[in-house]
Amino acid sequence: MSLAEAEAGASTAVDVATEMAAIGEAARTAARRLAYATTKEKNAALRAMAKAIREKSEAILAENALDVADARETGAAVSFIDRLTLDPKRVEAMAAGIDEIAALPDPVGTVLAEWDRPNGLHIERVRTPLGVIGIIYESRPNVTADAGALCLKAGNAAILRGGSDSFRSSHAIHGCLVEGLEAAGLPQEAIQIVPTRDRTAVGHMLAGLRGCIDVLVPRGGKSLVARVQQEARVPVFAHLEGVCHVYVDRAADLEMAKKIVVNAKMRRTGICGAAETLLVDRTVAATHLKPLIVALKEAGCLVRGDEESRAVVPGVTPAAEVDWSTEYLDAIIAVKLVDGIKEAIDHIERYGSHHTDAIVTNDQAAANRFLARVDSAIVLHNASTQFADGGEFGMGAEIGIATGKMHARGPVGVEQLTSFKYRVRGSGQIRP
């Protein structure tokens, strides 16, 4: 590198640092205003955003076409291009998603608990916004709209950093969000998008923008989430992966088990709630294992089994140690016979990702034990792991699913994007 190049690089790094710091400060200021924005103001902004997206649909698609053309030129994968590409239907879905968020109840101001003290003090625990949320996402332009709208509904300022391949699309969508904020008289810094493709911007966000970011939400593949989880100096709402299990107990109804296992694995194989491992109680190996494997194979699934299950059902591919901790996100499942519920729980603890795990059984005591002892964000009895979804939980839109135990766990919807404070009302009380 020449001196001139080095100087140019240094200068750019300083510029980005300055720019990101200013974004952080502006977000903090906007968050103070949003904290007491009324439901009416926030919903007016959201509806105006949806309107702007519909009105500017053509402009958004034009910008998106440029992004897609660039991506094709660099030889991006088909799946990548698919996620990046917008069409009129996808643009309308974004607008409709924002309208749905407008229709959700406003979590801010909800009294979570209240009680009186013997001295007459009335104490309330009341929901407040979290503050400033940073969202780091890959080249799915729709996340711009979803995440920005969800953060606003919960009274939070958002700093969006989308994949550089969707730079133009995300900026066009962001313009519509800002239009909506302005229409409702809310500060346009309530939803900011990082205005540079420079990758060092992400590093500044991971460092928390000098205390201006309260929480980070990564949206994307495992390598992005891993980097954010490892490097972030602020709390992160995320799941690294979903190594989800279905355990078929000795007291399982075989028909129900077949239906649940096939759905949990095959309904959509690419989502985090898809099952990756099937555990079957050794006691029912003779009766249940083969029909389960046949059902999976008939549904188009490749089955990898441990030695014992391969002895029961010949023709199954051997599973290696690594299979037990692999998130295939594909039509592949690992199958293992276990010594009842205890070994099933131990296996899930050892190899699972604390995301979503299910038991199929007609034994209520076994179900209760599984639900109590499996330490995952979501535990299910006699239902498919594919229900791991904020919408399916009735929470409305979600920004993702968290597997950490702090603050948010499971689907992260508007309620999970809030904090709380204590509001105490007295009549002159002093502490003796």
The residues of the shown chain that bind a second copy, judged by CB under 8 A, are 32, 35-36, 115, 117, 121, 123, 128, 130-131, 214-215, 235, 253, 256, 259-260, 263-264, 267, 349, 367, 371-373, 375-384, 386-387, 392-394, 405-407, 409-410, 419-431
* Burial 49-66, CB ≥16 within 10 A → b, else e: bbbbbbebbeebbebbee
C-alpha span between 264 and 275 (Å, rounded):
5
Beta-sheet pairing, 132-137 with 122-129: unpaired
Nearer to a second copy, 175 or 203 (CB): 203
Beta-sheet pairing, 332-338 with 317-318: unpaired
Instruction: List the Cα angle 46/51/53 in 5-degree steps.
Output: 95
- Beta carbon of residue 372, minimum distance to a second copy (angstroms, whole number): 5
Angle, in degrees to the nearest 10, between helices 142-153 and 39-55: 170
Nearer to a second copy, 222 or 423 (CB): 423
- Beta carbon of residue 130, minimum distance to a second copy (angstroms, whole number): 6
SS3 label, residue 332: strand
Nearer to a second copy, 29 or 200 (CB): 29
Nearer to a second copy, 178 or 260 (CB): 260
- Beta carbon of residue 423, minimum distance to a second copy (angstroms, whole number): 5
C-alpha span between 300 and 331 (Å, rounded):
7
CB 280, CB 248: distance < 8 Å: yes
Nearer to a second copy, 86 or 345 (CB): 345
Nearer to a second copy, 131 or 134 (CB): 131
C-alpha span between 188 and 210 (Å, rounded):
21
- Beta carbon of residue 411, minimum distance to a second copy (angstroms, whole number): 8
- Beta carbon of residue 171, minimum distance to a second copy (angstroms, whole number): 30
Tokens of 389: 């979804």
- Beta carbon of residue 122, minimum distance to a second copy (angstroms, whole number): 9
Name every residue whose Cβ is closer than 8 Å to that of residue 379 and which is 6 or more positions away in sequence. Answer: 356, 357, 358, 359, 370, 371
